[in-house]
Amino acid sequence: MADVTVIGAGIFGLACAWECARRGARVEVMEKAAIGAGSSGGIVGALAPHVPENWNAKKAFQLDSLLMAEAFWADVADRSGRDPGYARTGRLQPLADAAAVARARARADGAATLWQGRAAWRIVAARDDGWAPAAASGWMIEDTLCARLHPRQAAVALVAAIRAGGGRIELGRPMPPAEVFSNKRTGGAVIWATGVGGLADLSADLERPVGGAIKGQAAVLRFAARDRPQLFADGLHIVPHGDGTVAIGSTSERDFETARGTDGRLEALIDRARALCPALAAAPVLERWAGLRPRARSRAPMLGQWPGRPGHFIANGGFKIGFGMAPKVAAVLADLVLDGRDTIPQGFRVCDSF
């Protein structure tokens, strides 16, 4: 019997399973479809911080997770023998005008304090190197906290690390409804990390909406820029990966006809990326991707005990920042499930999405 059974093999489920296994628990992961079958099978992999101002629990949690990420993924790589594609390469953001420069300088002062001296947010002269976007003001933001992660490589590495630690991964088996999935079946705790479907199940159980699906579309281009910083401009992420590709994304769609289909919104996004980054002008598109991302009503990850179901826990609501939040989410869930220590911040509990 497992000490911890994790339902769902997306980034939150796999990260929680790995952290529990790393701490010595007997772990089983159950997934009805495939590894990363939901939004965790995406392609962008931008680990980027919130703006360093108007500080709150969500921003502090994300900062902790981004600072934990290098050691977390190095440990996964060491135990699995697989490269998760992590690198802390930083990010550039062009500034449009004097007002934007003034805001960025104020935020640099905030980062100097809030980021604990462990990363920098600074204003630098715009560069004309064929990679960085043009900056009408002549200035851009350079931060050293942003990192990249290859989503699919990371999932493969986590699976291998879990198995190397004695954990089991069971795929392709239909899951019973949550109300009949009792602790007697597993002999231990159950962590539900089931993404969009899990938000629907939880909403039905609690008889109130706690979150839903937001569609995203993204693309991968063939272009080798592995040591370049990622770019953020006009709401668009441009992320060089170590495998000779560049990911761009993504749309954020509340209204959509199909969950998986791509359309003209993605083509417009690709055109914008080419215009912003001259180096990508002729880069061929290798893949177009679309999927649904789980967004809790609180906009923060949803963590903690499933109300009314002792021994059952929720790890959901990663939305756009699930990969960046995963190391801290895993640590907090392992604290709660294995040690009974509740370190979930305000705004992250299941009841905060009511």
Q: What is the pLDDT of residues 15-26, one digit of tens each?
A: 999 999 999 999
278: its two tokens: 């001259």
**Would 249 be classed as within a structural domain?**
no
Among candidate residues 100, 127, 144, the one where a domain is terminated: 144
Same domain, yes or no, for 161 and 203?
A: yes
State the amino acid at position 346 in one-letter form.
Answer: Q
Beta-ladder partners of 168: 28
| Average per-residue pLDDT for the chain | 94
Domain range for residue 53? 4-83+150-210+298-353
pLDDT at 184: 47
Same domain, yes or no, for 9 and 77?
A: yes
Lowest mean pLDDT among 4-18, 170-184, 229-243: 170-184
| 8 A C-beta contact, residue 311 and residue 190 | yes
Q: What is the 3-state secondary structure (H, E, C) of 47-63?
A: ECCCCCCCCCHHHHHHH
Q: Mean of the pLDDT values across residues 75-88?
A: 98
Sheet of strand 121-125, all strands in order from the earlier edge strand to the far edge? 121-125, 139-143, 91-94, 230-233, 236-240, 245-249, 211-222, 285-296
**Alpha-helical runs (H) found in 91-194:** 98-114, 151-164, 183-186
Q: Which of 233, 270, 280, 226 is nearest to 248 (CA)?
A: 270
Same domain, yes or no, for 302 and 316?
A: yes
Q: Exposed, middle or buried: residue 54 (CB in 10 Å: 0-12, 13-18, 19+)? A: exposed
281: its two tokens: 């002008």
134: its two tokens: 């043009």
> In whole angstroms, what is the distance from residue 83 CA to residue 70 CA?
12
DSSP 296-308: ETTSS-EEEEPTT
At residue 50, what are phi and psi to the nearest 5 degrees? -70, 160
Same domain, yes or no, for 190 and 112?
A: no
Q: Which of 339, 334, 335, 305 is nearest to 27 (CA)?
A: 334
**Would 274 be classed as within a structural domain?**
no
**Would 120 be classed as within a structural domain?**
yes
Same domain, yes or no, for 113 and 193?
A: no
**Would 287 be classed as within a structural domain?**
no
| 8 A C-beta contact, residue 149 and residue 84 | yes
> In whole angstroms, what is the distance from residue 11 CA to residue 9 CA?
7
DSSP 350: G
Same domain, yes or no, for 30 and 140?
A: no
pLDDT at 241: 98
pLDDT at 8: 96
350: its two tokens: 């299941």
**Alpha-helical runs (H) found in the chain:** 11-22, 57-80, 98-114, 151-164, 183-186, 195-206, 264-276, 322-339
**Would 232 be classed as within a structural domain?**
no
How many structural domains does the chain have? 2
pLDDT(179) > 80 = no
Supply the pTM of this predicted model.
0.95
Q: Which of 337, 260, 332 is nearest to 62 (CA)?
A: 332
> In whole angstroms, what is the distance from residue 83 CA to residue 76 CA?
8
How confident is residue 100, by pLDDT bands cut at 50, 70 and 90?
very high
Q: Mean of the pLDDT values across residues 149-160?
A: 98
Same domain, yes or no, for 124 and 66?
A: no
pLDDT, tens digit, 9 for 90 and up, residues 293-321? 999 999 899 999 999 999 999 999 999 99
pLDDT, tens digit, 9 for 90 and up, residues 37-78? 999 999 999 999 999 999 999 999 999 999 999 999 999 999
pLDDT cut 90: percent of the chain above it: 92
pLDDT at 174: 72
For residue 248, give the 3-state DSSP assignment.
strand
pLDDT at 352: 77
Specify the CATH number for the domain of residue 183: 3.50.50.60
Q: Please tell me whether the peptide bond between 250 and the residue prior to it is cis, using omega within 30 degrees of 0.
A: yes
pLDDT, tens digit, 9 for 90 and up, residues 142-152? 999 999 999 99
pLDDT(175) > 90 = no
Same domain, yes or no, for 198 and 330?
A: yes
